[in-house]
Amino acid sequence: LSLDSVTNAIFDVSGKLFGLKYRKVDVQAYHPDVTVYEVRKEEGGEDRLVSLFLADNYARQFKSSGAWMSEYRSQTKNIAPGTDEIEKIPIVSNNNNFAKGSGSTLLSFDDGSTLFHEMGHGHHGMLSDATFGTLASTSVLKDFVELPSQLMEHWFEEPRVLKEHARHHETGEPVPDELIERLKAASVFNEGFATVEYTACALYDMAVHSLSDYDNFDLAEFEKEYLQEIGMVQGIVMRHRPAHFAHLFASSSYAAGYYVYQWAQVLDNDVYAAFEETGD
């Protein structure tokens, strides 16, 4: 899979779901690798600017690791009289750390899922329709915030999307039906392991944030004792060990809320099932 083909797939799905159109604009961003798009939507015969979207996909020195959505300006309707209306328009950025290729930048299937996941957050920011910026975009209860992102992942796994966009980067040959079936079968491989390593993190998160006394606190000892308490299966470790559990300690955003990814799985599967039931 090439980054270009997965990006085209995202824009195609985004257009079909939300009527959004992406137009690359020639403006200078904060780094040459960043691509800037105008996001527009036809409404009532008017071609309306919805958002500016920045795609910052490549790894580089000093860039934070991982993948995330951020905003340089959140959507709002609460602007002072006389302020330019452009101040209402969100500026949304999706950030990844793909290794930039000399030709096509190639992605794994997991990379493609990540691109779709972050675009779900991007939609959340771009399509926000709140009065106040503090309540706009992803400024929602954590029980909900991972629903749009995980919902988008379903469309990357949709055979119709894969047949149209998952093409060999040199020959243009579409992905064979047999490989799509194998990908579907492999999606549940090791699911028990993955569920245990994630659930252990979610439970640990709640436990460590429930403490009221941190005098003489030993993080490693607390981890060891707590995993024994919950009966952690030998041979499986937490997906994120406490010392590098950035979701919990880089900010307060996901503190005592790491469980939301698992909770959002219930929601996103229900929502996607509603799409499937329509037959379209």
What's the one-letter identity of residue 79?
I
User: Exposed, middle or buried by CB within 10 Å (0-12, 13-18, 19+), for 196?
Assistant: middle
| Helix/strand/coil for 120 | helix
DSSP-assigned beta bridge partners for residue 2? 106
Quick one: CA torsion of 101, 106, 108, 114, rounded to 10 degrees?
80
Catalytic position from the list 43, 71, 118, 276: 118
Two tokens, residue 80: 């002072």
118 annotated active-site: yes
Instruction: Give the span between the Cα atoms of 101 and 103, in whole angstroms.
Output: 5
Q: What share of the chain is helix, strand, coil (3-state, %, to 5)?
A: 45, 15, 40
Give Cα 53 to chain centroid, integer Å.
14
Instruction: Give the span between the Cα atoms of 53 and 23, in whole angstroms.
Output: 10
Instruction: Give the span between the Cα atoms of 73 and 66, in whole angstroms.
Output: 22
Instruction: Give the span between the Cα atoms of 240 and 234, in whole angstroms.
Output: 16
Two tokens, residue 206: 């709640």
Instruction: Give the span between the Cα atoms of 240 and 82, in whole angstroms.
Output: 49
Containing H/E element for 160?
A: helix 159-165
Contact 142, 255 (CB under 8 A): no
Q: Which residues are catalytic?
A: 118
